[in-house]
């Protein structure tokens, strides 16, 4: 039995993150606990739980796809840049249902142009928009203008 509360703390390193991710892949209840920590935990727990979820997505898409509704909801609710970044990683490249795809596109769109977001969040939003632009060519011109605007404002936007 894994006690997430004692693991999701400031000094949690990559080794613990990877171990929890592997453990959660085998157990839906652990993934549900991670979602709970993102939603109701303190800032550190939310950041660490979302970090684990990003790793889970890299290992296997199953849980991210299964809980896409909740991931989208948490992404829209979160105000912590690190949590937003990891939730975006959890959703990136997945074949989402239509409503969630639209919600992710909307978040990525506003996130890419909003200078209040962390640069890492804006970068991931841009990556997600580039991914969608392969399917929706009409996004390409808009993307070019966003990239140009960001470069002008920050002089370092990817």
Query: Tens digit of pLDDT per residue, the chain (158 long)?
Result: 568 888 888 788 999 999 999 999 999 999 999 999 999 999 999 999 999 999 999 999 999 999 999 999 999 999 999 999 999 999 999 999 999 999 999 999 999 888 888 889 998 999 999 999 988 888 888 888 887 777 777 666 55
Tokens of 71: 């991931």
Residue in 63, 49, 51, 71 with CA at minimum distance from that of residue 5: 49
CB 64 within 8 A of CB 56: yes
CB 75 within 8 A of CB 108: no
d(CA 31, CA 40): 14
d(CA 118, CA 129): 17
Q: What is the CA radius of gyration of the chain?
A: 16
Tokens of 152: 């002008």
């Amino acid at each position: 039995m894994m006690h997430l509360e004692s693991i999701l703390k400031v000094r949690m390193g990559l080794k613990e993150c990877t171990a929890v991710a592997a453990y959660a892949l085998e157990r839906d209840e652990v993934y549900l606990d991670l979602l709970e920590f993102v939603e109701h935990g303190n800032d550190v727990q939310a950041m660490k739980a979302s970090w684990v979820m990003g790793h889970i997505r890299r290992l296997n898409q199953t849980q991210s796809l299964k809980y896409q509704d909740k991931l989208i909801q948490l992404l829209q609710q979160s105000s912590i840049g690190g949590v937003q970044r990891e939730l975006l990683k959890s959703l990136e490249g997945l074949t989402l249902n239509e409503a969630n795809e639209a919600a992710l596109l909307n978040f990525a769109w506003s996130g890419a142009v909003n200078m209040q977001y962390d640069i890492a969040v804006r970068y991931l939003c841009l990556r997600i928009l580039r991914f969608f632009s392969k399917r929706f060519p009409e996004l390409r011109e808009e993307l070019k203008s966003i990239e140009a605007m960001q470069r002008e404002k920050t002089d370092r936007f990817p």
